[in-house]
Amino acid sequence: MKLLALDTSTEACSAALFIDGEILQRFEIAPKTHTKLLLPMVESLLAEAELTLSQLDALAFGCGPGSFTGLRIATGVIQGLAFGADLPVVPVSTLAALAQNFLPELAFIAMDARIGEIFWGVYERNSDGFMELVGKEAVLPASQIEFPQKSAIGIGSGWRVYHDELLMKTEGFVTQIESDALPQSSTIATLGVYGFQQGLSVAAEFAQPIYLRDKVAQTERERAQTKLNHENG
């Protein structure tokens, strides 16, 4: 199995290549320079592995939630690569990637979503050793989170920004906090391979970002409709 994964959902920019169980990664924390870094990372990985895109089985990307601009960058690049090489794409949740980095029994993922909110998701390790979503991912104030009353680790920048509020809300169930963790394409590659094996890949045109915020999603739909109306005269 050969799969290329990308992630630009946060201030980190990364690309990874999964080759039959081995993973090569390029990772750099570089806010606002993702567009300059991402394709050179891809080219470097393929050159190191002596592969071309057409020799891959699939692509994967961090589809969100995360930075609006970052998600658009990754989506645009992954669609371009997928169309060019006729490859399927596996969208991978950035919250799932954060959980998979640590592989606990249970994880409470909280990424800072700005304007007083967090991206929230509860993930539990399954029998295959992969983190699976419990319930739904959401964007909401820290005071409104829902969670199972079991011991878990807290992961993500939300645990730094809303530390006291989240600890008070989770009532002592959080036994460890990893607030500096960022999604990495190496983990997205691992989840991408698993998703591909589970039949979760999609065609390039269906590889879309997940914003969670209805306002952003509505804006995207409005833009698409405006473009369609213009094309139809």
Tens digit of each residue's pLDDT (9 = 90 or more) over 25-61? 999 999 999 999 999 999 999 999 999 999 999 999 9
Cα(112)–Cα(95) distance, integer angstroms: 11
Query: Residue 217's pLDDT is what?
Result: 41
Query: Residue 213's pLDDT is what?
Result: 83
131-152: average pLDDT: 97
Q: What is the DSSP string of 175-190?
A: EEEETT----HHHHHH
Instruction: Supply 66's token pair.
Output: 């995360």
CA nearest neighbour of 90 among 43, 46, 130: 130
103-127: average pLDDT: 97
Instruction: Supply 39's token pair.
Output: 């394709």
Q: If 0-12 CB within 10 Å is exposed, 13-18 middle and 19+ buried, where does residue 57 land?
A: middle
Percent of the chain with pLDDT over 90: 91
Instruction: Supply 198's token pair.
Output: 């589970």
Q: Is 224 a residue whose pLDDT tops 70?
A: no
Query: Residue 220's pLDDT is what?
Result: 44
194-218: average pLDDT: 87
Collapsing DSSP states into helix, strand and coil, what is residue 163?
A: helix
Looking at the structure, give the CATH architecture of the domain made up of residues 2-94+183-231: 2-Layer Sandwich (3.30)
Instruction: Supply 103's token pair.
Output: 């592989």
Enumerate the β-bridge partners of residue 89.
59, 202
Q: Which segments of the chain belong to CATH 3.30.420.40?
A: 2-94+183-231, 95-178
144-152: average pLDDT: 97
Provide the whole-model pTM. 0.90
Query: Residue 95's pLDDT is what?
Result: 98
Homologous superfamily of domain range 95-178: ATPase, nucleotide binding domain (3.30.420.40)
Q: Is 229 a residue whose pLDDT tops 70?
A: no
Percent of the chain with pLDDT over 70: 91
Least confident piece of the model among 29-33, 122-126, 186-190, 214-218:
214-218
pLDDT in tens, 149-181: 999 999 999 999 999 999 999 999 999 999 999
The pLDDT mean for the chain works out to: 93
Q: Is 233 a residue whose pLDDT tops 50?
A: no
Instruction: Supply 225's token pair.
Output: 């409709």
190-201: average pLDDT: 98
Q: If 0-12 CB within 10 Å is exposed, 13-18 middle and 19+ buried, where does residue 227 land?
A: exposed
